């Protein structure tokens, strides 16, 4: 068996999507994508969107305002949005035991949505069904 999930966090017109798998081999993030479909005037509405986490060169703690404490989340992957509305961080993390998603914000007027799609793959399902059928037949014959 293997377990997978696609986690999406939308902040206004910015989408963070993380595809993850958990199997016997361990937990891993397959892909993480960031898409910004916002059309805005940078001069009148400056916005800074930064990816954070391992491999990005920045941790969320480095970009967090002093009024927000995200210590312990340095290894989480995600994004930080800073603009006139305020600060918002969307973070995704995967362990063998859990899929974690969090949004931390001191902003107002943001449209924030989260979506989780879960997959469960059962390998060798046909062999499992055949074994169950053999067991039922054997039990009905009194073996």
Token pair 């600060």 is found at 87
Q: How many CA atoms lie within 13 A of 8 on its CB side?
A: 10
* Three-state DSSP class for residue 81: strand
DSSP 53: B
The pTM is what? 0.74
Domain containing residue 74: 2-140
Burial classification of residue 103, based on how many CB atoms lie within 10 Å of its CB (0-12 exposed, 13-18 middle, 19 or more buried): middle
Q: Count of domains in the chain?
A: 1
pLDDT values of the chain reduced to their tens digit, one per residue, 143 residues? 778 889 999 999 899 999 988 877 878 888 888 888 766 555 556 788 999 998 889 999 999 999 888 988 888 999 999 999 999 999 998 777 778 889 999 999 999 999 999 888 777 778 778 888 888 888 888 76
Query: 80-92: buried (b, 16+ CB within 10 Å) or exposed (e) per residue?
Result: bbbbebebbbbbb
Of 51, 93, 86, 56, the residue nearest 72 (C-alpha)? 93
């Amino acid at each position: 068996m293997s377990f997978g999930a696609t986690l999406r966090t939308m902040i206004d017109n910015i989408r963070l999507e993380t595809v993850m798998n958990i199997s016997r081999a361990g937990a891993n993030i397959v892909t993480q994508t960031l898409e910004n479909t916002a059309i805005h005037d940078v001069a009148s509405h400056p916005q800074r969107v930064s990816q954070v986490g391992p491999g990005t060169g920045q941790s969320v703690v480095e970009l967090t305002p002093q009024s927000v404490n995200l210590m312990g989340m340095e290894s989480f992957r995600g994004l930080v949005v800073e603009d006139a509305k305020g600060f918002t961080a969307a973070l995704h993390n995967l362990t063998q035991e859990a899929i974690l998603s969090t949004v931390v914000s001191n902003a107002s007027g943001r449209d924030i949505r989260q979506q989780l799609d879960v997959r469960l793959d059962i390998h060798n399902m046909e062999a499992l069904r055949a074994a169950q059928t053999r067991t039922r037949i054997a039990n009905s014959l009194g073996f």
